Structure 1
Amino acid sequence: MEFLMDPALWVGFLTLVVLEIVLGIDNLVFIAILADKLPPEQRDKARVIGLSLALIMRLGLLTIISWLVTLTNPLVTIFNWTFSGRDLILLGGGLFLVYKAVTELHEKLEGRVHVESNKRSVVYAGFWVIVAQIIVLDAVFSLDSVITAVGMVDNIYVMMAAVTVAVAVMLFASKPLTAFVNRHPTVVILCLSFLLLIGISLIAEGFGFHIPKGYIYAGIGVAILIEAFNQFSQRNMAKQEAQIPFRDRTADAILRLMGGREVSVEDRDTTGNDGFVAEERYMIGGVLTLAERSVSSIMTPRRDISWINLNDEPEKIREQILSVPHSLFPVCRGDLDKVVTVAHAKELIDSLDDPEDFRQLLKRNRPICIFSQMKVIDAINTLRSSKGSLVLVTDEFGGIQGLITPLDVFEAIAGEFPDADEQPDLVQIDERTWQAKGAADLYQLELALGDVDLVNEHSAYYTVSGLMLDQLQDTPTVGATIDFEGIRFEVLEVQDQRIVQVKITYPVDGE
């Protein structure tokens, strides 16, 4: 046991362990690539078998080290080229590595993907076919590993111990390394390129052209360093994109798929395309909100509904119809919650002087109602079946909360289209200042400001005043301000404890 006290032995052992791990990394990566072609439940088993076979092969080769030394003797001569047994093994292994690397690279670059939505339709490779390929790979890499061990250490026990420790380390790291490789396709391409490089070097060795391993591993090291920079760059980009609302990222992606492009300042100055691109992005963003926002967020609220009371005199009804620009009216009996029908303004005026026609008109169209928490995307079919009429929005008790029309859906997509007697809900004062009604839609404000997220699925509000009341937690007063998501909201006008006008400044940090 005195040899264990030899410092040179331990230095050689540790150095050999490091070299064996480095030499085995490429073997481990290629085992991971091959194992990925198997069903998920068989991949761990294939990795363990592959690395166990690698250990057995290397230990076996070390036990017959005296025979490996004789493989350098000339064996055959072809066209003035003399090959030893070692040369033939290197040639065969190199050709196999080149073939495997080229076929795998071709498959990756062709972009072939396996759809795993239905496990019965996924075609995996046979288990023992993959194991057979792993055995061939192990044979090639084991020879390289054993030759390195023989060149560094003279003690057979030190060689075996170093090889065993190295394989144990690789076995422990196989699963996380495989997961990392599968998450980063560019790493697979890089590893296959290494395989091609090593295969070419083995072929050169077989023909007697010695390529120093330091050159090969230096090139591999530089490539790995560059790939590490690439992975850090992608991770930082992902962090930056995560700060942009999902809806905006999706809108940008759709624009790119449709052939959209980023418009530079020079393009804006010379072509005026910036407005067109902004409109495209705005409308796509509006479409994407339809699946997440409820009907109550786009409806005309109850207090703003113009409705006809059957208890009023015909002349008063006529004056009311002519005084507003609407073409459709809910016709009710005494109260908005008692809707009888929905009628066009022209039909109402034409039938007011004929009681019989008026009674027939009241029977013509039954009112259509939907629940206030229904998603806008789901309400579109109801609007379509209404044939251009309006649809009433009710709460869980059947009370009328508001109404929606196809125009409301269109405004949710393209922006507000105010009536002749209305002012726009959102008016831009300058580059960073807007003035909004308290009832202004927060979704439309998001689209106008860009890169902000003012509403989430748990929000109990969908208007500017709702947001401010939620944040203030107090009776609103003129001059009250809140800062939310980098935006400042200031109350400009209050009526009956209701926020009427708000000043919006964005961003706050720009002040």
Structure 2
Amino acid sequence: MEFLLDPGIWVGLLTLIVLEIVLGIDNLVFIAILADKLPPEQRDKARIIGLSLALVMRLGLLSVISWLVTLTKPLIEIAHLSFSGRDLILLFGGLFLVYKAVTELHEKLEGKPEIQTNSSVAYAGFWAVVAQIIVLDAVFSLDSVITAIGMVDNIYVMMAAVTIAVFVMLVASKPLTAFVNRHPTVVILCLSFLLLIGISLIAEGFGFHIPKGYIYSGIGVAILIEAFNQFSSRNQAKHQSKIPLRHRTADSILKLMGGRVETIQTAEQAEAQAAFVNEERYMIGGVLTLAERSVASIMTPRNQISWVNLEDSPEQIREQVLAVPHSLFPVCRGNLDKVVTVVRAKELIDNLDDPAALQQLLKRQRPIFIFEKMKVIDAIHTLRSSKGSLVMVTNEFGNVQGVITPLDVFEAIAGEFPDADEQPDLVKLDESTWKATGMLDLYQLELELEMLDLVEEDADYITVAGLILDKAQQPIKIGMVISYRGIDFEVLELDENRIQTVKISHTR
């Protein structure tokens, strides 16, 4: 039992177990394909019988071939080189492994997909499938046995490794197949091991002994590097999953669009192409934000709504309507929270002097209300049913917080389209500086700055002013600068406690 204390024995055993498992994957896949031709209730039985036969056949081959390799008496002599029975077995076994590894590597590197058909309806006979499995086991057991002989010299270690490998495949056949499918580099690595072992067997067949320690050390380093590679890939995937889905999707779409860009020959064409791509990037980002933005982030706020009070005189109403360029007006009684309807400016002016016609106009359409925390993507159906009218946005208490139109959704995608009496919320001063209103939507600022993380999850603010108030934690003063995620927000103008104008600087 002293050999159990030899570290080389354990290293060889563990390495051989891994190789035997990987070598058995091909056998396992073919057994699964053949088993699928049977009725569902017989497939597991056929799979168990197939793997059990593989174990028996490999143990039998190990007993025979391991005895043959002890034959050291020269049998033939070629060009002053003598070959014993052991040398011939090692030589042809090594050639078989090299052939197997090279052909499998070529198939993997070519990347040709395997064609599988499941169109057969009639099931095959059970023993006919088992007979095919026996033939396959004989073929696949040969490389497994030769690999074992090339790795270690102890017959008990070989048998133990083969038995453990088959048992593992028997218990975890489905997870093993899935693991190999998820990690194709593992297959390439193990086929490279086969190539290395095959070359060492050929060398020994010609009388050149290669110490097993050299092979173990090379395999060990390769396995360690592959473990680092898998660990790195897993961490990269984990961090990638933290990026919002909309940004990952946008990046994928933009990469696809970039594949269609033709070679640019002139500077003017290059500049035009770059501008076009930037516009596409902005619009795609806008579309992908609709699923997470609330209606409150794109609505016209309450303090900017132009509305008509029915308690005013016809002259006052006419003067108010003509003073602004809007074509639609909420009509209210006393205050904005008591909305009667939404009418067009022309129809309202035409019927102001006819009380009966005005009453009919007010009854023609009921106002439409939506909740301020509804997502924009969900509000599109309501906007479509409004037939181009205004939709009132309310809070949980029923108070009107703003209005929304199809144009607001379009602005969320393509950028701002200010009315004649409005100033743009965001004006670019130079490459790294912008001037913005306090009501600027943070999603619009994200798109302009090409950033991903200005809007925090579950944040209570959706505007630049809200962001400054949340991060300042102190009274706001003119000239105050708030730095957040590499962006400086400087307060330029206040209206009492309300932030009116902000200077935004990118510190990259």
Shared fold per TM-score greater than 0.5: yes
1:459 and 2:455 equivalent? Answer: no
SS at match of 2:343: strand
1:404 and 2:407 equivalent? Answer: no
2:143 aligns with 140
2: distance between equivalents of 1:327 and 1:72?
Answer: 106
Q: Judge conservation of contact 1:194–1:220 (CA < 8 Å) in 2.
A: yes
Question: Residues 147 and 306 (structure 1 numbering): CA distance in 2 closer, same or farther, change over 3 Å?
Answer: closer
Q: Judge conservation of contact 2:57–2:138 (CA < 8 Å) in 1.
A: no
Deviates more, 1:17-26 or 1:407-416: 17-26
1: distance between equivalents of 2:157 and 2:114?
Answer: 43
Instruction: Give CA deviations for 1:465-508 in whole Å, capped at 9, x if unaligned.
Output: 1111111122211122221111111111111211111111112x
Select the residue among 28, 33, 37 that pairs with 2:21: 28
Q: Judge conservation of contact 1:436–1:501 (CA < 8 Å) in 2.
A: yes
Instruction: Give CA deviations for 1:360-403 in whole Å, capped at 9, x if unaligned.
Output: 11011110111111110000010001111111111112111111
1:185 aligns with 184
1: distance between equivalents of 2:115 and 2:187?
Answer: 14
Q: Which runs of 5+ in 2 are unaligned?
A: 37-42, 77-82, 118-125
2: distance between equivalents of 1:201 and 1:212?
Answer: 11
2: distance between equivalents of 1:295 and 1:243?
Answer: 25
2: distance between equivalents of 1:18 and 1:274?
Answer: 58
Q: Judge conservation of contact 2:426–2:437 (CA < 8 Å) in 1.
A: yes
1: distance between equivalents of 2:452 and 2:406?
Answer: 27
Q: Which runs of 5+ in 1 are unaligned?
A: 76-81, 115-125, 151-157
Deviation at 1:434, TM superposition (A): 1.0
Q: Counterparts in 2 of 1:204-219, with a 5 A limit? A: none
Q: Judge conservation of contact 1:31–1:134 (CA < 8 Å) in 2.
A: no
Residues paired across the two proteins, number: 472
Deviation at 1:325, TM superposition (A): 1.0
TM-score, L = length of structure 1: 0.73
Deviation at 1:253, TM superposition (A): 0.7
Q: In structure 1, what residue type is equivalent to 2:148?
A: S
Deviation at 1:430, TM superposition (A): 1.1
Deviation at 1:258, TM superposition (A): 3.8
1:123 aligns with none
2: distance between equivalents of 1:380 and 1:498?
Answer: 31
Deviates more, 1:212-221 or 1:392-401: 212-221
2:384 aligns with 384
1: distance between equivalents of 2:505 and 2:280?
Answer: 25
What's the C-alpha RMSD, in Å, of the aligned pairs? 5.1
SS at match of 2:499: strand
Deviation at 1:143, TM superposition (A): 3.2
Instruction: Give CA deviations for 1:7-46 in whole Å, capped at 9, x if unaligned.
Output: xx789x433543454444332224457668969xx99xx9
2: distance between equivalents of 1:430 and 1:303?
Answer: 31
1:14 aligns with 7
Q: Counterparts in 2 of 1:412-451, with a 5 A limit? A: 412-451=412-451
1:66 aligns with 67
2: distance between equivalents of 1:452 and 1:392?
Answer: 30
Deviation at 1:278, TM superposition (A): 0.4
2:121 aligns with none
Q: Judge conservation of contact 1:294–1:373 (CA < 8 Å) in 2.
A: yes
Select the residue among 97, 101, 105 that pairs with 2:104: 101
Deviation at 1:341, TM superposition (A): 0.7
SS at match of 1:311: coil
Q: Judge conservation of contact 1:93–1:199 (CA < 8 Å) in 2.
A: no
Deviation at 1:230, TM superposition (A): 6.9
TM-score, L = length of structure 2: 0.74
Deviates more, 1:353-362 or 1:63-72: 63-72
SS at match of 2:334: coil
Q: Counterparts in 2 of 1:98-497, with a 5 A limit? A: 101=104, 105=108, 109-110=112-113, 137-146=140-149, 148-150=151-153, 159-160=155-156, 164=160, 181-189=180-188, 191=190, 197=195, 246-260=245-259, 271-272=270-271, 273-497=273-497
